[in-house]
Structure 1
Amino acid sequence: MRPIRPALAAASLAVALALTATACESGGDPKADAKPTKSDAQEGGSGADEAQLPDNLDDIADRLKEHGIDVDKWKDGEWKNWDKDKWLREAKDFANPVIEGLWDADRMKSAKSPSQTISSKAAASNEGVTDPEPRPVRAEPERTPYYKYAAPVGKIFFDTPEGTAVCSGTVVKDPRNPGKSNLVWTAGHCVHAGQKGGWYRNIVFTPAYNHKGLSARALESAEPQDRAPYGQFWADWISTSGEWINGTTAASPEGGSYEYDYAVLHVKPERGTKSLEETVGAALPVDFSSPSPKSVDAMGAWGYPQAPPYDGALMHKCIDRPGRLSLAPDAPTMYRIGCTMTAGSSGGGWFRETGNGELALVSNTSIGPAGSNGWLAGPQLGDGAKRVFDTMSRKYGSQ
């Protein structure tokens, strides 16, 4: 039997995401298109040390008070204090109180991507493990409306000491809460500064952001439901890898452990009580099998590139046959594909078709080359990533 040609595999992958985005399984019956309505609009830690995680998500005020922070003052602007003593760093200290109305059109417009690049010299090291650099694959705009073709994909907005920032994320299935997942997959560097800092703040997920595909200028005067058709979902807990927090395999000037650059958000709506998956009508499973690049005909990356020549308004995608990238001899290799998406697509999901034809998230955008935008690399999701995910699902999935 002939192997699937990359062009055919790419087309199949794009179609599979569209099918997943328009139907969500619940009790075996596919739902109708999950179209946004006006009413719909209206885990800190590594997971490796589960004992550090609180038993519930209702003690945000208490966690802040332990560090001398009053939650009311926090909402009134104290969150802007990034002094070392106020910047919560440890896994157990994550806190993200909802500040209703904070992310308005102006703050969304001003958000810039945290730059995550690595030098060509570092990327070319460890010959024999790193495959030749892929040819660039031009990113294509996703079809609109996004709720029909890529509903699980969205933008993540957050605050850093340098200002507002943006990444991408994906709604993923929670096996312990079928049909009612509140979990979002993204990159570790989109939620935590790593060894150089702590947790970012005011982290929200906006699924199917700008679902009509309006231009950046048109978005300035667009209705709120055009920017956020399903509303905004605040992270009330986040889990990322201990390697990312501590930078234990640093291979870059920033000290990032990009081979472990992944995170899972547990979210809740800014308004209402419906779960994220019920609201959006779609979610994707996560594949933790770490398939060899040689065994995969195509991987697709989706996200919202913001750095030039893009402006962050539109969702894009790239599909390519993956290769290997090694940054450190004692760390896992990363997946790498050709793609012209830039910063802002960080955290966006990478998808592949599994053996049973199901589309699954297999990685997320982490880094690209310094000084150009010809490829992207993402971590393999193995046992460590699965522990982070399972801890989140088990402890917080039903909350």
Structure 2
Amino acid sequence: MRSTRTPAVPRHGRRTHTFLAATGLVAALALTATACGGSSEDTAGDKPGATTSQAARDKVEIPAGLADKLKEHGIDVDDWAAGGWKDWDKATWLSEAKDFVNPVIEGLWKPERMQSAKEADKTVSTQDAAADQDVSDPEPVPVEATAEKTPYHRNAAPVGKIFFDSPEGPMVCSGTVVTDVNHPGKSNLVWTAGHCVHAGGSGGWYRNIVFVPAYNDLGKSEAQLADAPASEIAPYGNWWADWASTSNGWIEGGSETGGAGAAYDYAVLHVKPESGSKSLEETTGALDVDFSAPSASEVSTMGAWGYPAAPPYNGLKMFKCLDRPGRFSLSAGLPTMYRIGCTMTGGSSGGGWFRVVDGETRLVSNTSIGPTDNTWLAGPQLGQDAETLYETMSKTYGGQ
């Protein structure tokens, strides 16, 4: 899977003016996050959509339409419904499947299963990272990730964790609620990385994908979470992806280290709640996506948010990094990516990158890859291909 690991090594600093610009970015994100559905209290018990997980069940109901898709891909519907969704045959693992299959298994993602999920790691070697220095700017100075203020529902409600099952077991990424251009005010769209939904050229779609906005709202430790109510662990409940789309560039070129697909490593989920009728945007708020793909030199500060899960982090708390972006390219034949200094590790993959435009915070990229020493992060530029993917999701699934 693809998650990114970010390293922690010193670079040439721009800390002073970065901090000044970052202050505005943090404030703008907080205001956006609390504009819809935020609470004035410092606990999550009164959050809309808070639910208590029911006991996990292996047996699931398969809708007729989904049953047809399963049959098309040679999957025995009865076996799948009886618990086959847990089994992976790597030789036939939906690598040719063009349809996303993700039936709701209510109660599957209980708190303890969430905590057992591992980061979807996507790192690049030193050799790969230096592949095209003629295009890439000098490696940035590492920026130490800082913890987001709690409660998250008041400071960054649209940011959350993505949980999913892979052949290696439960995995985690990060994601962000984004607006839906065709369904204003009622978006159910989540932006993340392509490697958080699909394995790329070596495999197929992941399963049981769930988005949990403002996960672990109060930033509690593992010991404290043992007795925490569901309203603190998942303050807005669990939102199941009923459709996912990623780029052809990722599906065809993505690899264990990002590969040629890294420059196209983005995805959009359409989600629905396990219970409740409000849209995700009405519940958490949402952020606009900037598809103008500005050059790195045009942007003074970008901020990356996410839930890093690989050491020294444990995936339980939300962190952020703010830095002036530079250019990064794995090959002259691939689109240039953004790169910032950041020490976030695997698990932060898919987390949104933001910049302020005319006083408003907009998503401009997402975490894709990072080096093994966790000193920086790189994310794709979101241009015409990304916008087409987004608009197709909005038109085809946004109203469902």
Whether 1:40 and 2:49 are equivalent positions in the alignment is: yes
Q: CA shift at 1:62, angstroms?
A: 1.6
| Aligned amino acid, residue 258 of structure 1 | A
Alignment of 1:91-170 (within 5 A): 92-170=98-176
Q: Which runs of 5+ in 1 are unaligned?
A: 25-30, 43-56
| Aligned amino acid, residue 41 of structure 1 | A
Q: State the SS of the aligned residue for 1:41.
A: coil
Q: CA shift at 1:6, angstroms?
A: 2.2
Q: Deviations over 1:170-214 (max 9, x none)?
A: 000001111100000000000100000000000000000001111
Q: Which residue does the alignment assign to 2:308?
A: 305
Q: Deviations over 1:63-99 (max 9, x none)?
A: 1122233445424320122114652234632110000
Q: Are the counterparts in 2 of residues 238 and 263 from structure 1 also a CA contact under 8 Å? A: yes
| Aligned amino acid, residue 151 of structure 2 | P
Q: Which runs of 5+ in 2 are unaligned?
A: 1-15, 52-62
Whether 1:273 and 2:282 are equivalent positions in the alignment is: no
Alignment of 1:4-83 (within 5 A): 5-24=17-36, 33=39, 37=46, 40-42=49-51, 59-71=65-77, 73-83=79-89
Which has the higher relative contact order, 1 or 2, with Cα contacts under 8 A spaced 6 or more apart?
2
Between 1:70-79 and 1:195-204, the stretch displaced more is 70-79
Alignment of 1:349-368 (within 5 A): 349-354=352-357, 356-368=358-370
Whether 1:284 and 2:293 are equivalent positions in the alignment is: no
Q: Which residue does the alignment assign to 2:197?
A: 191
Alignment of 1:186-265 (within 5 A): 186-247=192-253, 255=259, 257-265=261-269
| Aligned amino acid, residue 349 of structure 2 | S
Q: Which residue does the alignment assign to 1:54?
A: none
Q: CA shift at 1:255, angstroms?
A: 4.1
Q: CA shift at 1:159, angstroms?
A: 0.3
Structure 1 140/75 Cα, relative in aligned 2: closer, same or farther at 3 Å?
farther
The two structures, once aligned, show a CA RMSD in angstroms of 1.9
Q: Which residue does the alignment assign to 1:383?
A: 384
Q: Are the counterparts in 1 of residues 48 and 283 from structure 2 also a CA contact under 8 Å? A: no
Q: State the SS of the aligned residue for 1:393.
A: helix
Q: Which residue does the alignment assign to 1:50?
A: none
CA distance in 2, matches of 1:67, 1:221: 42
Q: How many residue pairs end up in the alignment?
A: 371
TM-score (norm 1): 0.89
Q: Are the counterparts in 2 of residues 67 and 86 from structure 1 also a CA contact under 8 Å? A: no
Q: State the SS of the aligned residue for 2:308.
A: coil
Between 1:224-233 and 1:5-14, the stretch displaced more is 5-14
Which of 293, 296, 311 matches 2:296? 293
Q: Are the counterparts in 1 of residues 175 and 351 from structure 2 also a CA contact under 8 Å? A: yes
Structure 1 136/58 Cα, relative in aligned 2: closer, same or farther at 3 Å?
farther
Between 1:157-166 and 1:265-274, the stretch displaced more is 265-274
CA distance in 2, matches of 1:237, 1:32: 27
Q: Are the counterparts in 2 of residues 137 and 319 from structure 1 also a CA contact under 8 Å? A: yes
Q: Are the counterparts in 2 of residues 91 and 239 from structure 1 also a CA contact under 8 Å? A: no
Q: Are the counterparts in 2 of residues 167 and 348 from structure 1 also a CA contact under 8 Å? A: yes
Q: Which residue does the alignment assign to 1:329?
A: 332
